[in-house]
A and B are shown apart, each in its own frame.
Chain A
Amino acid sequence: MLEFIRQPWPWYVAGPLLGLTVPILLLIGNKAFGISSSLRHICAACLPTKVPFFNYEWKRDIWNLFFVAGILIGGLLTLLFFQNPNPVQLNPDMVASLEKYGINNLKGTVPADLFNWTSLFTIRGFLLMVGGGFLVGFGTRYAGGCTSGHSIFGLSTLQWPSLVATCCFMIGGIIMSNLFLPYILAL
């Protein structure tokens, strides 16, 4: 059993389980699933400010912070008890293109060759971690949601703005990954 759990889960097991978050959150407390809001709540909680965007009763949405704390714990529990010891099984074409940029370690969730404390102080690492992180925080708030709030919750509840947002997420990602990322990785 534990062996089975340790393997990566196929999409047709994981996807439906992730989708169940939508009804679960609605049923346990009428909550609209969305994770990027937690970034706003953390800003509002940690930096008392007169900026209207952060001047609201963030405590009203504290459930969201409990939920993301749970995600962190979930990541830790997996690491401790049922982590997959093998590197991710990628398309050989992807493995080949990663090798071109010196990315050989495919273990774990992030490429250790790119994301580490030393590379943070290189242009490449800074662009990926700090630049990328900034765009994630800025873009999700401007768009009013992320993959969870728009692509899962929004699409599940048939909201057309979420379909537009999801298409834009994908278009942005495809453009960056195919057109610009090769140059950044070559830095």
Chain B
Amino acid sequence: MTHPESVTWIVRNLWLIPALPVAAAGASALLKRSQRRLSAGLAIGSMGISLVLSLMAFAQALADPARRVVTFNWMQFGDQWVQLGWLLDPLAAVMLVMVSFVGLLIFIYSLGYMAHDDNFTRFFCFLSLFAGAMLGVVIANSLLLLFMCWEVVGLTSYLLIGFWFQRPAAAAAAKKAFITTRVGDLGLLIGMVWLYAQTGTLLFYNSGAGCLEQTAVAGMEAHITAAGMAVSTAIGLLIFCGAAGKSGQVPLHVWLPDAMEGPTPVSALIHAATMVAAGVYLVARVYPLMSPDAREVVAWVGAITAIFAACIAVAQNDIKRILAYSTVSQLGYMMLGLGVGGVAVGMFHLITHAFFKALLFLGAGSVIHGCTEDQDIRNMGGLRRFMPVTFATYTCGMLALCGFPLFAGFWSKDAILHAAHGWGVSQGPFYLGAVGALLTAFYMTRQMYYVFLGQRRLAEATVSPAAVAAHEIPAEQIEPVVSARTGEVCIIEHPHESPGVMTRPLVVLAVFAVLLGFVGTPAWPWFQSFLAGESTGLDFGRFSEAGLLPLMVISSLIVFAGLGLGWWFYGRKPILHATDPDALEKIQPGVFHALANRLYVDELYGVTVIALTRFCARFAAWLDRWIFGGAVRIVAWMVTGMGWLDAGVDKFVVNGGFDEGCRDVARGGRLLSHLQNGRVQNYLRVIAVALVVLAAILLWGRRG
């Protein structure tokens, strides 16, 4: 390991940050199921220490924005050492703090959310491993190390999405997430191998010799492949495949909404803080590889994802599914920002989004928790009366997500739109992004009206009077309601506010959702300059930059328009019954159903990719059964025939003689066995006689 004098303690021990949660995961894997307290304590404690270390690393990066790396030899192949290492630069520092902070809040929240689960210990074990692997991705200074952590992240996300694997839907969703991301990871793997072949190293930065540094990148840009593309572009796009899989970009977004089958803290952890951010972070990390051509692809994919997912989100009825599509859409924005604006633009949205999306997911979890595990927004309504804290914090998150002026999302999304507007290649992504912003405000308003505003609607799955009679539910929590559909009197359980251990993280996150944007406003672009390693000051003059203010006004208007549309459709006339058709559905049933069915992407994959795979499999099975199997069977028949022949020879020729010998031996054995008659005294007598004979011989011999 190399330790130059300039490397400080925190840089040298940066590995502790991911190692602690991983160690906690290992320890809690050994715990018994009943040791819930210890397991949660381990996970939260390790995450807390990681957060403290992350903050120390952040302070170090603040004091000294230069990139610091530590590398060490890992394994020898032939005469080459594969080196791994970690690095600390502003980008990594920001991600470290974000991941460990949001992760810690989610851990604490999980205490309340998973309190009744039988497999509490297992959950915290997976959660710690997940967080550790993600922190490993963040500090990796080697594409190989990053890839290893990346795959652990993939594995744990599989385990966590499928945490309730007893439910077939959860098991299927876990499989889907794993396989879909694997498709992207294949690209990443090929890109990594190609990168190694080109540069001979997988270290990102190694004082001039790393693969992201000037010499290597220049070499790759100069090298043109047969398809007329620079090698760096090709490698960058292959790596982007991996990022697209992890970050749910079109066309690999299908797993992300299904991943909602996992417990809600997992949704928050995967969809807000860590896993989906990993893809964006990967692109930001290998940004030097991204040539203008590659960036163009990234920008278009991002923009298309942003609007595509926003459209689908409009017609969803599952509270977490809406947020999932919203996440896909926002990830598209981040990619768009990376493509058109650079690292700072994309990362800024990543950070703000992490906070307000975690808030929204945890708020949704609180709602679900309070509504006895119902996730259908049509069965909610009027919840602001029952869950005031959740309502207030959720509103903050929703406004931040919509990009309401002065909230966190406003500044970061505006930076992206501004960068897209100024993009020299095309204005298309800008318009896609703007429409996406309108849709975002619209579907979030729709969700708010359905969930929190209006009046309490009757759940389809009502509480049976028998359960009340059995005192399973306290009497004050229920009220009789007349069902609109059947006219019967049903009894419905009152929703309740979640415990403090769940609401407190919400409040903390809400504060960040409101205020975090101010670290990256155009007047004081501290965040952007921090990533770039420069210092900056407050200067309102920057608002007067050409086109900036009009653009901000336009984007604010777009947000207001979205909110207004939402009110027009859902707020004007209160939604009375759970079974009422959606307001949009009344106008455009065809479009609405297409959107509600996720634009049939899954079905499309079903009839194309999966059908093809299935056909190949069937063909292979046929080949196996008839061609190869036939050959094997012929050989088997031949062998059997020879076996018959041999058996005949054996039976009549060999056995004849052998049997005779056996019979003789058996006869001799039977004769001898009469000596062995099982009576101990016989044996003893034989020994005595033998003793007499022996002694007599000895004595006789000595006398003579």
Task: Decide whether A and B are members of one complex.
Answer: no
Interface residues of A (CB under 8 A from B): none
